[in-house]
Amino acid sequence: MSEPESEVGGVPVAALKRHAELSELVEEARWNYYVRDQPTVSDAQFDEWFRELLALEEAHPTLQTPDSPTQKVGAPVSGDFAKVPHLNRMESLDNAFDEADMAAWMTRVERLADRAPGPYLCELKIDGLAIALVYRDGKLERGATRGDGRFGDDVTANVRTIEGVPHRLKGEGVPSLVEVRGEVYLPVKGFEQLNEQLAEQGKQPFANPRNAAAGTLRQKDARITAQRPLRMLVHGIGLWEGSEVPRAQSEVYVRLREFGLPVSDLFKVVPDLTAVNEFVEHYRVHRHDPPYEIDGVVVKVDDFRTQRELGSTSRVPRWASAFKYPP
């Protein structure tokens, strides 16, 4: 009687089985979170599975294929709306969970850039729904969810109802074509009021503000969306054509605010890791001060030229990292 195989293609059978199990768990969790807006596991549990999956693929590189969850962004479009392409791919972010992770990311960035690439821009990571808005000749043409990063759901009609999102950009130097990225969210007070209304109507309340924002933005009836206090904050650009492109992330925020777009004031440009850690620690203590829920801090290389030099992997930009707070 032959012994059972302990390896297949140089990979232990136990690792193959665990990789398949984790892949299924991660894909199912993503579908429930991004498409159904009904998460079935905590963010902490998802992050634990994802980190284990990354570790398995690092130990056994043949496990990493284009179909692996580690190579994908978000989830497929829902099918409830028209599927539209993004002008440039919308990516995810690598996560850091402690100061050592953040230091390791910064070391990688410095090695790849072959210099100290600071300063860095630190901003709050809003727990909402990623969105891309396209403005052509200053007019809002389209709003789309992130979807799988290449295609998203066309939610333009609903986006037009969000207070603070301009239908036309104002000021001088407006690009002929610009795609802005941001986060749609429900303020904490608005979330509480919405759940009270749903309870009074005998309807199921939302589990948290993120689910409420996602469910509201994906309403097929824009009149329902208009009745709920959705908000948006812009945190980047995907494309900028027809006018001089700013040289840094922080400069973009100044310009976008001049155009009338909603940009947070709660960001800071800092010189080094020590200052990054101070910003992270400040908002760990003051996490509930903003009017919306946050689950961490995003750190970006501020200079656009350095961002372009660093580029991206198949899933994330190398020039940014998200420090995740514990639940």
pLDDT of residue 84: 95
Number of separate domains in the chain: 2
Q: What is the C-alpha to C-alpha distance for residues 324 and 327, in angstroms, rounded to an integer? A: 9
Residues serving a catalytic function are 125
Range of the domain at 54: 7-71
Please tell me whether residues 224 and 269 are part of one structural domain. yes
Strand positions, DSSP E, 242-319:
267-270, 294-301
Q: Which of 313, 34, 22 is nearest to 151 (CA)?
A: 34
Question: Nearest to residue 106, comparing CAs of 97, 98, 117, 95?
Answer: 117
Task: Band the pLDDT of 3: cuts 50, 70, 90.
Answer: very low
Higher pLDDT, 58 or 94: 94
119 and 67 in a common domain: no
Average pLDDT, the chain: 91
Q: Does residue 104 form part of some domain?
A: yes
Instruction: Supply the CATH number for residue 294's domain.
Output: 3.30.470.30
Q: What is the CATH number of the domain that holds 34?
A: 1.10.287.610
Under 8 Å between Cβ of 185 and 209: yes
Does 2 fall in a domain? no
| Distance (Å, whole) CA 5 – CA 8 | 7
Does any domain span residue 78? no
Q: What is the pLDDT of residues 303-319, one digit of tens each?
A: 999 999 999 998 899 99
Q: How crowded is the C-beta side of 138, counted as CA atoms within 13 Å?
A: 11
Sheet holding 139-145, edge to edge: 139-145, 129-136, 177-185, 231-241
Whether residue 119 has a cis bond before it, omega within 30° of 0: yes
- The tens digit of pLDDT for each residue in 14-68 reads 888 888 888 888 888 877 777 766 778 887 888 888 888 888 888 888 888 877 8
- Report the distance separating Cα 183 and Cα 145, nearest Å: 10
Same domain for 222 and 141 = yes
Rounded Cα distance, 276 and 281, in Å? 9
pLDDT value of position 264: 96
209 has a pLDDT exceeding 70: yes
Any idea of the CA torsion for 252, 99, 96, 115, to the nearest 10 degrees?
50
Residue 66 and residue 42 share a domain: yes
